[in-house]
Structure 1
């Protein structure tokens, strides 16, 4: 089985921000992950990626918030998207005056 792209979408959230979401089902877990998905979700504001969730080979499931990187506990693609958009809301609330 080859990797199967399940979802790819760019969501325009404002004049200056968008989210890019790509999720694949893979035949075997990516090194560092325990599930059969490969993903990258990015929130870009004014041309800068301020939030990213991904499972880069060897690093496993993690997220980047501004310059900070931390482990992410993946449970399902649906929960991944819920968590990502909740983090966008939180980030946007914190930076509303920027």
Structure 2
């Protein structure tokens, strides 16, 4: 089985901001992630990626919020999306007017 693209969409949120969400189902997990999904959720403002959730070989599930990278406890795709959108709202709230 090859990787299957489950979701790919760009959401334009403002003239200077968009979110891009990509999710694949894999034939096997990407170590050290225990699940069979590969994802990249990014929020870009003024051409800079200010928020990203992703998983990659060797790092596993993690997120970048500004300059801070931290582990992310993946449970399911629905929670992943909810957490991402909550962080988009948080970023916008904390950076309003900057």
Structure 1 length-normalised TM: 0.98
Alignment of 1:33 with 2:28, yes or no, is no
Distance apart, 1:58 and its partner CA: 0.9
The 2-side partners of 1:80 and 1:5 are apart by 17
How many residues align structurally?
Answer: 98
- Paired position in structure 2 for 1:44: 44
**Structure 1 position 97, deviation (Å):** 1.5
Gaps of 5+ in 2: none
Runs of 4+ in 1 over 4 A off after TM superposition: none
Cα root mean square deviation, aligned: 0.5
Match of 2:54 in 1: 54
What residue is the counterpart of 1:65 in the other structure? 65
Alpha-carbon offset, residue 88 of structure 1? 0.2
Aligned to 1:75: 75
- Aligned residue number for residue 95 of structure 2: 95
Structure 1 residue 31 displacement after superposition: 1.2
Counterpart in the other structure of 1:15: 15
**Separation of aligned partners in 2, 1:58 and 1:28:** 15
In the aligned structure 2, how far is the partner of 1:13 from the partner of 1:57?
A: 30
